[in-house]
Amino acid sequence: MPGWIYFLCHILILLLAGCSRPAGGGNNEDLLELASRALTGGNYRLAHDTYRRILDHPDDSPLKDDAAYRLAYLSVIADERNPYLDYEKARRQFRQFVDEFPKSRYIMACNNWLKVLNLVVRRNTEQPATRTNQSSRTCEQQLQLLEKQLTQMREKNESLQKTLNRLRAAIER
C-alpha cells in the first residue's frame, strides 16, 4: 500500500474516532461517571453542570434519564454547601421526569420523591398559621411559667432579706 493511502486511512480513522464523542470531550457514560463522583464528593456545581451537559446534548442517549433523575435529586440534597437545594424546584423536576421518561427505571423513585415533597410543601404552605399559633401559645405558657418563677424568687429573696436583717440585728446586740 502506498504511503499516502496509509496516511489518509489513519487520518480518516482519527477523524471518525473524534466524531464519536460529544463536543467538549467525553462520552455520556464518562460524563455521568464524572458527575456522580462530583456529587458524591460534594462538588454540586460540577455535578449540576455535567448533568445539564448530558441533557442538553442533542443525541438520544439512554443515559439522559439517569442525568435528569440525578439533576432532580440534586435539588433535595440537604447540605449547606448545596446551592441547588430547592424542594419546589425538585418537585417540578420530578414531575417533568415522570412526563418525559414514563418507562424509566427511576419512575418509582420519582413518584416516591413526589409524595414526600408534596407533603413537605403542603406542610410548609398550609400550616404556618397553626404553627405560629401553637408557637405563640407555647411562648405564652413559658412566659407565664417564668413570671410565676420570678414571683416565687422575689418572695424567697424578701424572706431571705428579712432573715438576714434579723441576724444582723442579733449580732449587733
Residues 6+ apart with CB under 8 A from 77: 39, 44, 84, 85
Q: Write down how long the chain is.
A: 173
**Helix 107-126, helix 87-100: angle, nearest 10:** 150
Backbone dihedral region of 26: left (phi > 0), alpha (psi from -120 to 50 degrees) or beta? left
Q: Give yes or no for a contact between 76 and 92, defined as CB atoms under 8 angstroms apart.
A: no
Q: What are the tens digits of pLDDT across the range 55-111?
A: 998 888 889 999 999 999 999 999 999 999 999 999 999 999 999 999 999 999 999
Q: Which amino acid is at 45?
A: R
Helix H or strand E encompassing 53: helix 44-56
In whole angstroms, give the CA distance from residue 92 to residue 98. 10
pLDDT in tens, 126-167: 665 555 566 677 888 887 887 788 788 778 878 878 887 888
User: For the chain, how big is the Rg over CA atoms in Å?
Assistant: 33
Question: 8: exposed, middle or buried (C-beta count within 10 Å: 0-12, 13-18, 19+)?
Answer: exposed
- Residue 131, pLDDT score: 54
